[in-house]
Amino acid sequence: MADMVRAAVLLGPRRIEIQEFARPPVGPDHALLRVEANGICGSDVETYRGHLGKATGPLIPGHEPLGIIEEIGEQAAKRWAVVPGDRVAVEIVVPCRSCQSCLTGRYQYCRHRAVGHGVTPLSVAPGLWGGLAEYLYLSPGAILHPVDKTLPAEIAVMVNPIGAGVRWACHLGGVGIGDTVLVLGAGQRGLASVIAARAAGAGTIIVTGLSADAHKLALATEFGADHTIVVDECDTVDRVAELTDGRLADVVLELTPMATAPVTDALLAARLGGRVVLAGLKGGKEVPLRTDLIINRALTVVGAYGVDARACADAIRIIESRRFPLAKLHTHTFGLDDTALAMETLGGEVAGEAAVHVSVHPEAASC
């Protein structure tokens, strides 16, 4: 076993450096994960660009890690029911497990959590808190989900984006049989929402994107969308009204990054008594909110934060079922040395690269 661990460190906007860290000892209540792959999220890209607030210090990004249990303490093995060699996906949130929120199943809102995967600065020992590294340190509060070891790593690592689709469309959006669902945004989580809505029995699924998103909109159709709307060529709300004979959408998912206008579109495109789920981060931008729309249309508006254990479990069932051709979502694999290029590729900054799902595999060469 190597004594040193290589990791990609975010030093500031667009500044990623590969550094080495001492391999931490593993106590009875802890574990060490050998990272097979870490998915790159749109929020990672915006953080890399410096759009989502200031980091509290240099850190190792990566909140979608998948890997193999390399070392584990006796108490940790009992708690997590895993042994060396098991493959697991790891949640971003590391709750305290003892406060009122944790004990009542609302651990995502734990006020006492001190660390989180991919968001904790190096100053918090042992520093290896992010998935963009050869190894990830697992503290006692970490939440793990076993995943089928026979799946390719680039598919198995999709637990977080597929889980987001499940949570936002089904758990928060309440999509049911026959519902009309509008998904604003055709990124990997928008496509995952199509998969989740189709699995839940939605009647009509509509997905929006830009003309530059033609490859993503084509995938949306392949995964079950009935209609796609190119928003820079026509009015979203008018087209939804046309497609639904004026009934509009039962459930609207607003997933667009940084853009503010789609929030109003979401409210206008929801039917009377409809449900709107807001999950697209805007980088702190002020969003004009037409509250009269919410009141007069009797809308339910829900904010979506992250992916919880229930959504992860449902996502793993979808992935392991092999029902959907998820390999078509994955477009790029990068090695650890090319982490910055992975961010830029997913962000559409690399000419000629039509990225959808991108992951970094610490032991792999870029391709």
CATH fold of 4-158+329-360 reads Quinone Oxidoreductase; Chain A, domain 1 (3.90.180)
- The residues, ordered by sequence, that sit 6+ positions from 317 with a Cβ below 8 Å of its Cβ are none
Cβ–Cβ under 8 Å, residues 251 and 266:
no
Q: Per residue in 25-43, pLDDT tens?
A: 999 999 999 999 999 999 9
**Per-residue pLDDT reduced to its tens digit, 140-150:** 999 999 999 99
Residue 283 is predicted with a pLDDT of 84
Is residue 272 within 8 A of residue 298, CB to CB? The reply is yes
SS3 122: coil
The segments of the chain whose pLDDT lies below 70 read: 1, 53-56, 365-367
DSSP string, 109-152: G-TT--EETTTSBTTSTT---SSSBSEEEE-TT--EEE--TTS-
Q: Amino acid identity of 156?
A: A
Q: Which amino acid is at 99?
A: C
- CB count in 10 Å sphere of residue 300: 15
How buried is 150 (Cβ within 10 angstroms: 0-12 exposed, 13-18 middle, 19+ buried)?
A: exposed
Domain 161-303: CATH superfamily is NAD(P)-binding Rossmann-like Domain (3.40.50.720)
- How far apart CA 148 and CA 301 sit, in angstroms, is 36
Identical topology for domains 4-158+329-360 and 161-303:
no
Give me the residue spans of the domains in the chain: 4-158+329-360, 161-303
Report helix, strand or coil for 357.
Answer: strand
